[in-house]
Amino acid sequence: MLVILKRDDEEISRQAAQLIASGIHKKPALTLGLATGSTMVGVYKQLVHLHKQGSLDFSRVITFNLDEYLGLAAAHPQSFHYFMEENLFAHINVNPRNVHIPDGTIRGNYDQYCASYEESIRKAGGIDIQLLGIGRNGHIGFNEPTSSIGSRTRLKVLSKETLDDNAKFFAPGEESPRCAITMGIGTILEARKIVLLAAGAAKSAAVAKSIEGPITSAVSASALQLHPEVTFIIDDAAAAQLTQRDYYHRVLEMTALLTPDRLG
């Protein structure tokens, strides 16, 4: 596990975009796992900037998003389809045929649909780099506390904390979704490389538990400790409750010296 401590949201976005860009430079047909949410906005801005500068080509990149709200069509402004289009896809040269986001409008045979999403990931050769945010309750994707560490893509009921966090994005009186389709923790752990970003004080407890606490289904992101190649990129406020910050800085210095490739 590599913990990269940065000053603010701007710096974590730059670092994450650099890691992704270097992944695409090494493997132009990279399979990229994507997340949505406020933490991702800056990263996608940076990626769009690199693309517009002419230094980043997405034409062969394949993408798989982590999750989508159940009941929201792609055109709904709060859907993750809409978010991805607005913040990234409309501004880069990704081939729409290579874009995969769980369909929030499916009805009925959810298990079959989720199995087919997993199958498309397998057919694409698995995910090379998975980008993650983290919820205040430690969720990754919509794997809410008590999600099984071996879980696969499935229908998931959202926790009270997540519902509260989301309510502000929906119009007054509009009911926000109660469920989502999400990749499982087991699905996420199969990615070759994982990059988790966290910014802001509200995330500091979840970040500390995920990195320095025990592996527990009570904090889904703690399962990332089982992964051989995970990088946490965290700003000062989100890192405030970590007790080993000096050590992470020293590891980073040595990484830059000995294996700079890991930093993008």
Catalytic residue numbers? Answer: 67, 137, 139, 144
If we measure between CA atoms, which residue out of 31, 24, 46 comes closest to residue 233? 46
Selected range binding ligand F6R among 29-37, 70-78, 186-194, 250-258, rule: CB under 6 A: 29-37
* Least Cβ distance, residue 197 to ligand F6R (angstroms): 8
Q: How far is CA 255 from CA 77, 166, 246, 258, in A?
A: 41, 38, 14, 5
If we measure between CA atoms, which residue out of 196, 197, 211, 262 comes closest to residue 241? 211
Q: Which of 12, 32, 140, 233 touches ligand F6R by CB under 6 A? A: 140
Q: How far is CA 2 from CA 195, 233, 242, in A?
A: 9, 8, 14
Q: Which of 2, 10, 37, 216 touches ligand F6R by CB under 6 A? A: 37
Please tell me whether residue 147 binds ligand F6R under the rule CB under 6 A.
no
Pairing of strands 179-182, 67-69: antiparallel
Q: Which of 66, 88, 127, 219 touches ligand F6R by CB under 6 A? A: 66
Please tell me whether residue 42 binds ligand F6R under the rule CB under 6 A.
no
Q: Tokens standing for 160?
A: 């009270």
Selected range binding ligand F6R among 49-57, 117-125, 136-144, 256-264, rule: CB under 6 A: 136-144
Confirm if 217 and 186 have CB atoms less than 8 A apart.
Answer: no
**Backbone φ/ψ region at 138: left (φ over 0), alpha (ψ -120 to 50), beta:** left
Task: Please tell me the distance from the alpha carbon of residue 154 to that of residue 180, in angstroms, as a whole number.
Answer: 8
Distance of CA 20 to the CA centre of its chain: 12
Please tell me whether residue 36 binds ligand F6R under the rule CB under 6 A.
yes
Build a one-symbol-per-residue string for 74-103: x at contacts with ligand F6R by CB under 6 A, - elsewhere.
Answer: ------x-----------------------
Nearer to ligand F6R, 39 or 50 (CB): 39
Q: Assign 25 to helix, strand or coil.
A: helix
Task: Please tell me the distance from the alpha carbon of residue 235 to that of residue 240, in angstroms, as a whole number.
Answer: 9
Please tell me whether residue 141 binds ligand F6R under the rule CB under 6 A.
yes
Task: Please tell me the distance from the alpha carbon of residue 264 to that of residue 232, in angstroms, as a whole number.
Answer: 13
Please tell me whether residue 221 binds ligand F6R under the rule CB under 6 A.
no
- The identity of residue 237, as a single letter, is A
Selected range binding ligand F6R among 70-78, 98-106, 139-147, 208-216, rule: CB under 6 A: 139-147
* Least Cβ distance, residue 170 to ligand F6R (angstroms): 14
Selected range binding ligand F6R among 71-79, 121-129, 134-142, 184-192, rule: CB under 6 A: 134-142
* Least Cβ distance, residue 41 to ligand F6R (angstroms): 8
The binding site for ligand F6R (CB under 6 A) comprises 35-39, 66-67, 80, 133-135, 139-141
